[in-house]
Each structure stands twice: as C-alpha cells, then as structure tokens.
C-alpha cells in the first residue's frame, strides 16, 4: 500500500514531512484535509489507532476558539468524528499512514524507523 501523508499544505511541519518523504520515499500520496476533505470513518480509524488525545492539537487556534461545550464533545466518541471533520485543523499534523501503522507528527528518526 502506498504511504499517505495527511495534513495541510501550508503547515510548516507538514512541509518538513513532505520534504523528507520526497527524498526518502518518493512514491507517497499527499492528502490535504482542508481542500480534499476527510470522512468520519477515516477520523474513527485514526482515533482507534492513536487515541483521541494524540490526535487532537490542544495548542491550535481551532482548539482555543472552541467553546467549553465543544472541548467536552471532542472527547465523546459519538460526537468527535463529526466535530473533527467540521474542524480539521484541530488535528495534530501531519498524520502518516504507512507500512501498516499510523503516526502523528513528524520526526525524521521516527519516519526512518517506519520505512526501514
């Protein structure tokens, strides 16, 4: 299966991950979840693989703009997928699906281990 990197093209961390992948794993796909969208099913896969705490970026502008009710609802697995799909910038970036694993964030050493 071809590796897929999910993120937003103007995010600095996503840019670093894309540069690393272009050099080391040129046959990868980039999915911009702001312009290409996300499904609730994909979000649920990530929650299952990573846990909601790892997936949510609590330092993001989106998190800071959430009401207290939204901040509570994001941890309710019945409500989280729809809330995340409606606010994709709440996701820590990038998300990498490769070699049967799902990773969040970017560290060159971590990516090298995935593709070794």
Q: pLDDT per residue over 73-116, tens digit each?
A: 999 999 999 999 999 999 999 999 998 999 999 999 999 999 98
Q: What ranges do the domains of the chain cover?
A: 4-114
Of 4, 8, 11, 54, the active-site residue reads 11
Q: pLDDT per residue over 20-37, tens digit each?
A: 999 999 899 999 999 999
Domain boundaries 4-114, corresponding CATH code = 3.40.30.10
Q: pLDDT per residue over 28-64, tens digit each?
A: 999 999 999 999 999 999 999 999 999 999 999 999 9
Structure tokens at 75: 């941890």
pLDDT of residue 71: 94
* Mean pLDDT along residues 4-13: 96
Look at phi and psi of residue 100 and say left if phi exceeds 0, alpha if psi is from -120 to 50, else beta. left
Segment (H or E) for 85: helix 80-86
Cα dihedral sign, 70-78-86-60: positive
| 8 is an active site residue | no
Cα dihedral sign, 25-111-36-51: positive
pLDDT above 80: residue 1: no
């Amino acid at each position: 299966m071809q590796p897929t990197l999910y993120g937003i093209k103007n995010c600095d961390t996503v840019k670093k991950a894309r540069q690393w992948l272009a050099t080391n794993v040129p046959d990868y796909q980039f999915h911009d979840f702001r312009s290409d969208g996300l499904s609730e099913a994909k979000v649920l896969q990530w929650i299952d693989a990573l846990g909601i705490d790892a997936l949510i970026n609590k330092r993001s502008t989106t998190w800071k703009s959430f009401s207290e009710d939204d901040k509570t609802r994001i941890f309710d697995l019945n409500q989280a997928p729809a809330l995340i799909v409606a606010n994709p910038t709440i996701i820590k970036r990038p998300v990498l699906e490769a070699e049967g694993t799902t990773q969040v964030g970017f560290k060159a050493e971590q990516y090298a281990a995935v593709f070794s």
